[in-house]
Structure 1
């Protein structure tokens, strides 16, 4: 049965005729409003320029959003559900949340929704939305969070009492593809409350507005349309997407739906003269249903937006079901809702079950399997159509109905080459509905197991000419493409290659393609971020937001510059990844031996700079830790903050087999010459140290920035529960700083870094994330990988106390597994049935409609495990999948 999905993936990969299985998917954004792309303001404040309320009636320029919807890969025709409980002031067409200025900890979605299942081709999709029966507490959420400070927790939807007594609807939506262009939709609405409750359901199709913005490559010569054929079906016509028939089934217990039509265009009377109100605009369905206004929908049965209008009374504890179907006109079935409809769903669900089971190690418990499946589902659901063309965005006039002054903030203006119109794995489709370069790198690790082709395509995408800057910089994220994320792309490409090669796909073309472009990016780093030309790097904030005493994304208030332990270590890690790639490519192309030599020697230069014994390095011998240094007026001063920054040098380890060197005589000759002329290297780093042959008789060599003695000193901190090791993984800041905050006097003002296990109390770098204590998955994952590489070399010859001072000694593979176990505890139900990551309160603990729903947060409270930040950051937190699988494999073999 898993072979059915594998066959679809293979056919898609081969681009077989009629095998366009990924043309449709969950690519619809969950928030388009408040994004940089839609910001045509004069002052560059997107949250204020395009608000949640305005999204009801204003047409978007660069994308669309909806509630658990789908669209095609170019976001031409969209589908999503709209709901109304008879109480709300607006139709529930999209997810609500607080903007950055509104939330006491930044942006924050205020909804209850869950991704439950997806196959890689999206042949089957399932998700759940919990919709209250009472009026949605929009204002309560805003006002309560507004009066809370950064020292207070966020006020969540589940705390408002809106779900008391089960007075809500579970809206479950499922999609099943009978064929690539034949999509079956099943919506089940269940009343969890004690009384019958009415619900209005509007399954809605609409075309993205590509016709109102002037001449572009997307402007159609013929405006697309949706028009009614008969009482139950529509014809959808688009010149490049093709023609589809859309069917709505009344079902045995429901009245036939009525069809409503309008145009997906801005309702300009909202900001012009209200007396000039005209019908058939984007908000017509809201006006007709939620406000009861007549004459606002199109009197003719056609438009660019259409909805089937259902109204049902859902019995207490009961459910109602609605069925819909969208089919290319050359594939129309005889009976859209006959027995074949139900058989297709049964078959796709069975295939999804089988495919998911094929990914599961037999040693996984039922609860671990549940977590893994939801993590994979979230990863697949979080793919999104992303469109952003910088020249057109910068030069574009205000869209119709948007009165703005001259644009004084021309964000990203030095990225004039950028043309993004792709399906991309997003960090979070609500809070981060735009890519972030280093987030994407981590996403590719679980994707390499789920969908190898997509993982490789994403890895290549960020290196293509229409993404990468001509200088070689990889775009960081939409708010500032020129910011600098950690250079982990080379590691991700190498790991994707390794994972897919282990599955029998040794794709050397992929590896060579990414290597050539990564060379450009590496050169950009060397030329732009090594301020003094001494192999000590100043990368900026490097994705760690408020990790330090200063906002590292801006010029320092002191003057001078930071020499960064993390930036410098990341570059050594970059060298190590490029060295590994060059070794592999040199296997059948000797030209790559020269590149291997280059990256080996560059690695050594960086290690020497970090570890210099003359006091200019970043290692502090007294503390036994790596620190950032403030370089000012020719002097270098360590900033003694024990943070994850000082542990990143641990990542730089690589193990090289003698059998690999035996196949590369050119590299070996150059390496031997280099090492013979640098006998001093062993004083400050572990370099090509020869170890005992492994069990296969292969000799090993170790390349690492810390010497064995320094490694042991760093591990003392890493595994100390009073420092970095929390019950749920590795903290981002040592707990030592809870009682001993680091302080810096800046012209009489005390700047402070203090340990915080949870949300930030600092507005530094936006203040909507916190690297001053919580557990973050990506760096925990890299530390785990590094510990296993150290173990590969040292084996049982290096055992350390874990936890520090516990008297329990482990080898480094066992240490890696200990961290894995602590991370896994975040999601798994404990003996009381609670999941630390998801604090819902006791009344949800044993509720079967809540207890097994898992969210994958951005980061986690280091003391309680509570999930924090973006609640659907399945991208890098989906790294729980390989963590759980490895733990299960260990249990089976041990």
Structure 2
């Protein structure tokens, strides 16, 4: 019988969500933390990413929480100190890799030492590959046992391990509503979207390093994931992306709780501007009775029966990290030709202003950045001194003004 035991000692160079309340490294948070830092000190980002991958085991697993030292351990309940090497967490470090690539490929950043960056990327590339392979090996969804709809790929489907009746802590979206009861035949929209982001990142890294065969291979995986997101997770009935489970007859059925899960393919850049699903996704985001609020995009629809219930952690509040992904993709759409360009431009301007106003007003009132914000009042709530991913508001502030300087806070009827 395997007994849980402490391992280490280890060390980690990391940025943390909140020194008083979360004085430890979180894999889920770190990639978001690094996005503003890339603009300020890309070398620091490279050091932090290297440190994280330095904790990876031979199989490719990185522990989702790095509870290193007595200060960090004193803040973690005993039941959460055990971690399992087949449990994953959102691979947000790959967002930082993409941001670094963009930084060093940009013609506006020629003073940066590109030779140093390429040397570093060459060294870390095998670790990125090992980590990606670990996700594909340990988190697959079952496309063979159950009666599934025909999908483009027989491989690209994914399920979070580590689920309980009410939580998938490994997903980062702890209490977000999922299928009931839990079932080993589930497929999770957010995880396949993260896997697409990883494949896209690796394809870009391989191309930058002139690894043409690898770039082509990761590109094929990315295309298969994009196709399967539509084939497996799009519910025509609900006009939304949804998780999948298995009913009593072992048939695949969609489980739709409109919220962040429904827009995950959009947030992770899996939808092209010409996607036939994009209009419905934008409509869902912009609907005040669903996700849109004057303070940011809610985590769960107001129409959902579980909105605001139980812990109410990811069941309604506004989270800056998810809103950053939304506003970033809206900006990409606003700057790309396509049928939704005008709508995306209006939504982008309004959401950008709403997010900055929400964080600023709460800061003026309380003196704190907060873990999340109330979708009905805009008040900061949960953990204070939360200068982790809430600091993404600085990235939002630095985004271009597409509204001619007139302010972005326009009414829902214009969206």
Q: TM-score with structure 2 length normalisation? A: 0.80
**Aligned equivalents of 1:885, 1:442: Cα separation in 2:** 16
CA 1:607 to 1:448, structure 2 compared with 1: closer, same or farther past 3 Å? closer
Match of 1:821 among 353, 358, 362: 353
Residue 732 of structure 1 corresponds to which residue in structure 2?
A: 299
Alignment of 1:84-483 (within 5 A): 411=4, 413=5, 416=7, 418-464=8-54, 467-477=55-65, 478=67, 479-482=81-84, 483=87
Match of 2:193 among 558, 565, 569: 569
Residue 133 of structure 2 corresponds to which residue in structure 1?
A: 523
**Aligned equivalents of 1:852, 1:513: Cα separation in 2:** 47
Given that 1:644 and 1:733 are in contact with CA atoms closer than 8 Å, whether structure 2 keeps it comes out as: yes
Structure 1: gaps spanning 5 or more residues: 1-407, 551-555, 587-591, 655-703, 742-753, 800-809, 829-834, 839-850
After superposition, give the CA deviation of every residue in 1:608-642 in whole Å (9 maximum; x if it has no partner): 32222xxxx11101211011111356322211211
Residue 215 of structure 2 corresponds to which residue in structure 1?
A: 596
Alignment of 1:602-613 (within 5 A): 602-612=221-231
CA 1:858 to 1:574, structure 2 compared with 1: closer, same or farther past 3 Å? same
1:853 shift after superposition: 6.2
Structure with greater strand share of residues: 1
Match of 2:159 among 538, 551, 554: 538
Does 2:392 correspond to 1:874? no
**Aligned equivalents of 1:794, 1:877: Cα separation in 2:** 31
Alignment of 1:421-820 (within 5 A): 421-464=11-54, 467-477=55-65, 478=67, 479-482=81-84, 483-499=87-103, 502=106, 503=109, 504-505=111-112, 506=114, 507-532=117-142, 534-540=155-161, 541=168, 542-549=171-178, 557-586=181-210, 592-612=211-231, 617-631=232-246, 634-653=250-269, 704=271, 708-737=275-304, 741=305, 754-756=306-308, 761-762=309-310, 767=311, 770-794=313-337, 797-799=339-341, 810-820=342-352
After superposition, give the CA deviation of every residue in 1:296-324 in whole Å (9 maximum; x if it has no partner): xxxxxxxxxxxxxxxxxxxxxxxxxxxxx
Given that 2:299 and 2:317 are in contact with CA atoms closer than 8 Å, whether structure 1 keeps it comes out as: yes
Given that 1:732 and 1:776 are in contact with CA atoms closer than 8 Å, whether structure 2 keeps it comes out as: yes
After superposition, give the CA deviation of every residue in 1:706-745 in whole Å (9 maximum; x if it has no partner): 96221111111011111111111111101112xxx1xxxx
1:585 shift after superposition: 2.4
Structure 2: gaps spanning 5 or more residues: 68-80, 144-154, 162-167, 408-415
Given that 2:88 and 2:139 are in contact with CA atoms closer than 8 Å, whether structure 1 keeps it comes out as: no
1:652 shift after superposition: 4.1
1:495 shift after superposition: 0.7
SS in 2 for 1:605: helix
**Aligned equivalents of 1:472, 1:885: Cα separation in 2:** 35
**Aligned equivalents of 2:329, 2:380: Cα separation in 1:** 25
1:874 shift after superposition: 0.6
After superposition, give the CA deviation of every residue in 1:733-784 in whole Å (9 maximum; x if it has no partner): 01112xxx1xxxxxxxxxxxx112xxxx52xxxx5x7100111111111122
CA 1:775 to 1:514, structure 2 compared with 1: closer, same or farther past 3 Å? farther
Given that 1:569 and 1:648 are in contact with CA atoms closer than 8 Å, whether structure 2 keeps it comes out as: yes
1:480 shift after superposition: 4.4
Given that 1:441 and 1:488 are in contact with CA atoms closer than 8 Å, whether structure 2 keeps it comes out as: yes
1:577 shift after superposition: 2.0
After superposition, give the CA deviation of every residue in 1:205-232 in whole Å (9 maximum; x if it has no partner): xxxxxxxxxxxxxxxxxxxxxxxxxxxx
**Aligned equivalents of 1:409, 1:872: Cα separation in 2:** 39
1:539 shift after superposition: 1.9
Structure with greater helix share of residues: 2
1:580 shift after superposition: 2.3
Given that 2:273 and 2:336 are in contact with CA atoms closer than 8 Å, whether structure 1 keeps it comes out as: no
Residue 173 of structure 1 corresponds to which residue in structure 2?
A: none
Q: Which segment is superposed worse, 863-872 or 510-519?
A: 510-519
**Aligned equivalents of 1:498, 1:650: Cα separation in 2:** 20
| Higher-Rg member (1/2) | 1
How large is the Cα RMSD of the aligned pairs?
2.8
